[in-house]
Chains A and B, each alone.
Chain A
Amino acid sequence: MLILMKVKLAMLAGALAAPIVATAFAPTPPQDQDGARRLPSASFSYRAAGDFSRNGRPVEGPLRELRLPTDLVIMKRQVTVAEYGRCVDEGACPRIAIPASPQDAPVVGVSWHDASAYAVWLSRKTGVTYRLPTDAEWTFAAAEKARDEAMPLVDPSDPAQAWIARYETESARARPVATAAQPGGTFGTNSNGLDDLGGNVWEWTNSCFVRVSLDGGQERTTNTNCGVRVVQGAHRSYMTDFIRDPRSGGCAAGVPPANLGFRLVMEPSPPVVTAVTRSVAKLLRRA
């Protein structure tokens, strides 16, 4: 909990620092052309993440046509062992057990907190606000690599049928031959020019787990648990934020993601910052 608060504070601090740096050293050096891609805003279909129900029965999350408010600038590759290592060396990221992967392989075994700490550090280093994508942003960026996997719905009067069907769906999924993180590019490039989406590394998003009631045609969030975040990859999953190594077993009979890693998006004009700048400007005017 304390870690979470610290991260949040640091993120806010980073966000506040950004415009000052940007003003001082304007213009911000553009992103390394190989390091990020700018995806023009366009409409895409998105299945809302979370648990949805109507009149006490589980239903699929609603499928919507979405359009991000601005272009999305997102890293071409997942953050690598070498990149994360620099953050660790500067004391800004938790030191984690890194398996003997090549330096250019994606860093795996990172929790949501680790990934968030990296975003804060990178924002501070570059003067640009980086953060984890939302689930919707990830889905937009992943394009054809995003899977809208309809899982059988649980019938409360005979829940076992859906459990068995889900188990069979999960068991039938093609699993990557190698479970160790592979060098960037191993799992191909998508139509947006982004690498390794849906490979053997799942990516943390900033989206929290929600439970939503659709009773009476109204969408009502009955619970938001930000201790559990959406992770995205070959299939969507939900993961407690401090988990670094996903695994199942015991009561959890499902098939877990193979590895947890991340890539970041760049805030074009962070709404928080804009709002703060505007209020500061207002205050100044009054003074």
Chain B
Amino acid sequence: MLTRRTALMGAAVAALMMAAPAVAGPADDLKLPRQKVELVAPPFVHAHEQATKAGPKIVEFKLTIREKEVVIDDAGTKFHAMTFDGSMPGPMMVLHEGDYMELTLVNPASNSMPHNIDLHSATGALGGGALTHVNPGEQVVLRWKATRPGVFVYHCAPEGMIPWHVVSGMHGTVMVLPRDGLKDAEGKALRYDKIFYIGENDLYVPKDANGKYKTYETIGESYADTTEVMRKLIPTHVVFNGRVGSLTGKNAMTAKVGETVMLVHSQANRDTRPHLIGGHGDYVWEAGKFNNPPQKDLETWFVRGGSAGAALYTFREPGIYAYVNHNLIEAVELGASAHIKVEGKWNEDLMKQVTPPGPVPPDKIGAADPVAVTR
């Protein structure tokens, strides 16, 4: 009888055989199976196993750097972005502890600047930054071993221009999962039904004498003015996934009551404090590293600039949830708000409107003057 497991194994073997001839170029000094992963843009994450019984492997990823002009708010403010694979943040790359990542970093000839990548999850050579400098028209392949489970930032780090590249969009996230999956403090397995990946961007857009956002012909022309704004440390925009409203309305994230959702929050440059309005963090790895037991029942969690954090939450009530940076000025005035649309049955035990809004009884403090209550 063909069980599901043997079928999966068969598929895996077939995939390995298929992948094998594609390996060309660098000598394969590691005799390990290979897996090639197609990346997807945030807030989504490529398909992956949460726990694996298979042995270590080499996971191949390709990131293509794209310099491009984007719109970052509803007023149509234009911004010269630098991105990994075209999105702000760059896609999440998932592998397991003990796996090797083989990353091909492509800098197409159409770009104007040299770039590289510093992976906080990697050990040595400035996180790979010293070994990955690529000019327009070049590519590089870097292999590093995943030795610490957690969610980690990666970012571009070219000499002299590091912060500018990072706050122009060149940052993303690596997730290294424990081979046997996530666990709570008692060692009980934790799983998620869905994962969403939110990258927070602090953006610094120069303004002209009239207070209007400036636009530039080329990214190079924007450098001096942008650096001036950056040095004052006050962003003009604090947004999720590249623009105001990128995760609201038609692009709101979705879930169902009873589903457990993993929310990964990545901030490459500046401190932030995610909060799920109307919900909680059931299990939170505030510093994002899975060898530490998750904290329970958090209301808000702190993600240090230059790190990623992860929170697991099982939705208990339907409705529209706001997921914000709970510096509410940044959430509402500067843009760091996302929405999660959760469908399901309302639980009256958790919440009920006992009496709808109505007049304060006349004998109580706060009652309206009867004369005022007329149209």
Q: Which residues of A contact B (CB under 8 A)?
A: 51, 53, 56, 58, 97, 99-100, 156-161, 163-164, 167-168, 170-172, 178-180, 208, 210-211, 213, 221-224, 247-253, 255, 258
Q: Which residue of A53, A163, A249 contacts B335 across the interface (Cβ within 8 Å)?
A: A249
**Chain A residues with Cβ under 8 A from B355's Cβ?**
56
Main DSSP-derived SS at the A contact region: mixed
Instruction: Assess whether B332 is in contact with A163, with CB atoms less than 8 Å apart.
Output: no
Q: List 14 A-B contacts (CB under 8 A).
A: A51-B357, A99-B212, A156-B352, A157-B346, A158-B318, A158-B346, A163-B319, A170-B249, A171-B249, A180-B76, A221-B373, A221-B375, A249-B337, A255-B249
Q: Is B343 an interface residue (CB 8 A)?
A: yes
CB nearest neighbor in A for B353: A156
Closest chain B CB from A230 CB (angstroms): 13
Closest chain A CB from B138 CB (angstroms): 39
Instruction: Assess whether B250 is in contact with A158, with CB atoms less than 8 Å apart.
Output: no
Q: A163-B319, A168-B341, A247-B332 are in contact. List 4 more A-B contacts (CB 8 A).
A: A167-B339, A179-B74, A249-B324, A250-B328
Bound CA–CA A157/B351 (angstroms): 10
Q: Which residue of B277, B357, B374 contacts A211 across the interface (Cβ within 8 Å)?
A: B357
Bound CA–CA A56/B322 (angstroms): 27
Instruction: Assess whether A164 is in contact with B373, with CB atoms less than 8 Å apart.
Output: no
Instruction: Assess whether A100 is in contact with B212, with CB atoms less than 8 Å apart.
Output: yes
CB nearest neighbor in A for B324: A250
Q: Is B217 an interface residue (CB 8 A)?
A: no
Instruction: Assess whether A159 is in contact with B346, with CB atoms less than 8 Å apart.
Output: yes
**Chain B residues with Cβ under 8 A from A221's Cβ?**
373-375
Instruction: Assess whether A179 is in contact with B76, with CB atoms less than 8 Å apart.
Output: yes
Q: Which residue of B74, B320, B368 contacts A223 across the interface (Cβ within 8 Å)?
A: B368
**Chain B residues with Cβ under 8 A from A58's Cβ?**
356
CB nearest neighbor in A for B278: A251
Given that A167-B341, A180-B76 are known contacts, is A224 also in contact with B249, CB under 8 Å in the complex? Answer: no
Given that A161-B318, A222-B373 are known contacts, is A53 also in contact with B341, CB under 8 Å in the complex? Answer: no
**Chain A residues with Cβ under 8 A from B375's Cβ?**
208, 210, 221, 224
Bound CA–CA A180/B213 (angstroms): 13
Instruction: Assess whether B212 is in contact with A172, with CB atoms less than 8 Å apart.
Output: no
Closest chain A CB from B208 CB (angstroms): 9
**Chain B residues with Cβ under 8 A from A160's Cβ?**
317-320, 342, 344, 346
The 7 closest A-B pairs by CB, nearest first: A160-B318, A249-B332, A171-B249, A160-B319, A158-B346, A249-B337, A253-B320
CB nearest neighbor in A for B75: A179
**Chain A residues with Cβ under 8 A from B319's Cβ?**
159-160, 163-164
CB nearest neighbor in A for B328: A250
Instruction: Assess whether B75 is in contact with A250, with CB atoms less than 8 Å apart.
Output: no
Bound CA–CA A247/B333 (angstroms): 8
**Chain B residues with Cβ under 8 A from A56's Cβ?**
355-356
Q: Is B210 an interface residue (CB 8 A)?
A: yes
**Chain A residues with Cβ under 8 A from B335's Cβ?**
249
Instruction: Assess whether B212 is in contact with A251, with CB atoms less than 8 Å apart.
Output: no
Bound CA–CA A23/B249 (angstroms): 56
Q: Is B372 an interface residue (CB 8 A)?
A: yes
Instruction: Assess whether A253 is in contact with B322, with CB atoms less than 8 Å apart.
Output: yes
Q: Is B122 an interface residue (CB 8 A)?
A: no
CB nearest neighbor in A for B351: A159
**Chain A residues with Cβ under 8 A from B322's Cβ?**
249-251, 253
Looking at B324, B344, B345, B356, the one whose CB has the most chain A CB atoms below 10 A away is B356
Q: Is B81 an interface residue (CB 8 A)?
A: no
Instruction: Assess whether B328 is in contact with A100, with CB atoms less than 8 Å apart.
Output: no
Given that A171-B249, A172-B250 are known contacts, is A164 also in contact with B320, CB under 8 Å in the complex? Answer: yes
Closest chain A CB from B79 CB (angstroms): 16
Closest chain A CB from B238 CB (angstroms): 11
CB nearest neighbor in B for A177: B76
**Chain B residues with Cβ under 8 A from A164's Cβ?**
318-320, 341, 343
Closest chain A CB from B243 CB (angstroms): 13
CB nearest neighbor in B for A57: B356
Bound CA–CA A100/B343 (angstroms): 43
Bound CA–CA A252/B339 (angstroms): 10
Instruction: Assess whether A157 is in contact with B250, with CB atoms less than 8 Å apart.
Output: no
